[in-house]
Chains A and B, each alone.
Chain A
Amino acid sequence: MKAASVKKGMRGALPIILGGVPIGMAHGLLTRQMGFAIELPLFLSLFVFAGSSQFIAVSMLQAGAAPLAVIGTTFVVNFRHLLMSASIAPRLKSWTFLQRFLMGCTLTDETFAVHSANFAAGGADTTEALSLNFTLYLMWTLSVVSGFQMGNLIERPEVWGLDFALPAMFLGLLLPICTRRPAVAAALCGGAVSLSLHRLGFGSWAAFTGALAGATAGAFVADGNPKKEAKPVE
């Protein structure tokens, strides 16, 4: 391991930490408000390490959802990582088994975005990439724990708008990927199905069903090339 690469990876993690720390703190804080002990957000951060799933799991658990519904929703919410993992796999051929395993465990939306950009640019330094991932992992866990500890200072997080951190994060992740018609169709259909199920009282399975329905609907929508379509038919 080269110290310079470790440092470079840590520096690369900085902009992502900036976005992640408020979300992690909000997660810790809200979990405490819901009456859970620190073990829950701590072990979720250490073992699951997936921001949106952690938020969702805690709110589902508080609402009294069945364990299977929580695990099923987590599976669907994180299923996108399968595609990300498959997409960077060919780039890691020279990595050892352990290195690939560690990369997989610390794969998130953010690390995927950074690494696929780096790999495309030619730089695939193993030490630097893993250093970036583990810096994020550590900072995420620290921010969740410190948010939990701050819970007794901030009595009503909703006054500070902190309960909006999760919806805002979904919005911030969703909008940039809705650039093409199938993605927009998937989002519209997934949202509509999920919302309908919620209003009918089937909230526990709404995200799961909405995701499957939305992706299926989107997959049948033609990925029209906007430039081609703008041309008049001759």
Chain B
Amino acid sequence: MKLHEYQSKLIFSRYGIPIPKGRVASTAGEARQIAEELGGRVVIKSQVLVGGRGKAGGIKVASDPAEAELLATQILSMEIKGLPVRKVLVDEAAAIDQEIYLGITNDRAAKKPVIMCSAAGGVEIEEVARTNPEKIIKVHVNPLLGIKDYQTRDIAAGIDLPREYWKSFGDILRGLWQAYMDNDATLAEINPLIISKDKRLVALDGKMLIDDNALFRRPELSELRDTDEDAPSEVEARKYGLTFIKLDGNIGCMVNGAGLAMASMDILKFFGGDPANFLDIGGGAGADKVAAAMRIILADPNVKAILFNIFGGITRCDEVARGILTAMAEVKPKVPMVVRLVGTNAEEGRAMLANANMITAETLADAAQKAVAAAKGA
């Protein structure tokens, strides 16, 4: 789950990390009021969950409250990469001397969090990694021990940070580490961390990603979820505990198991088809879940055929068949459906669907080819 900049910075500030004075606004009037409170120049920053806001014109500097209102009006009416801007952050403008990148993420291969830091901040870290990989310092942290003071000094020295800033840098890095661990983040990033003209370190921008698997113990974070970037079908699927990802093709897919769901999409492509979605109904799905999944697939007007590929293990094929029949009675689908049932109770499932006017298949390759043909109207 992604957090907005203003949400991330608010969390950072609770861990003692200095952030600019400012607040979030939903209307231009609010933006003006915040600008008046702050006085002086302010930055109006669109709050959307995509990168490249600045380039898209979603970050502007205003020199007085009237201009702040005008710019907020413009930005609040924008869409950035397809996402509507619903909120702007109004921050006091900073006088920047230097921009630093500071981030923590999980290194899968090392099985440890890794701190990344670079004196070349202000641009995306992937960009720095491509052009100047030697400018990125990486330090792994043992999650059982936590960050050690010497590591913060090593990093500060590694980016040639002047010694006068080492203490405040250490405080910021320890704060970021604590924020990362306490919130089950998979990314906590300050970019840029600036040295201001008045010689202070300030987190000008912030980004956090939270581990979805940990939300059960972070209810206060779950409430911050912004579903704007998810397709409505994905939000609907989440309610039923289904993993659904919308794609651009025309063959709907219902599969049990993530790996098999991916392989089923791949084989459709291999035989010249194009999947409309990724859908894993999970292990042991009951009829109601299957019916919900089918309604979500059929709500997509692009869908010209559906492929059901169920390999029964914990999932029982007769339960899936019951779900298909329930949904069919309700939605009366007009598209052809190809079904392949193998494993637990497959015989019973097939018998239940015998009169449902579905195309049946024995092997995965057979099922995929039949679905591709059906979608083409053959």
- A pairs with B: no
Binding site for B on A (CB under 8 A): none
Binding site for A on B (CB under 8 A): none
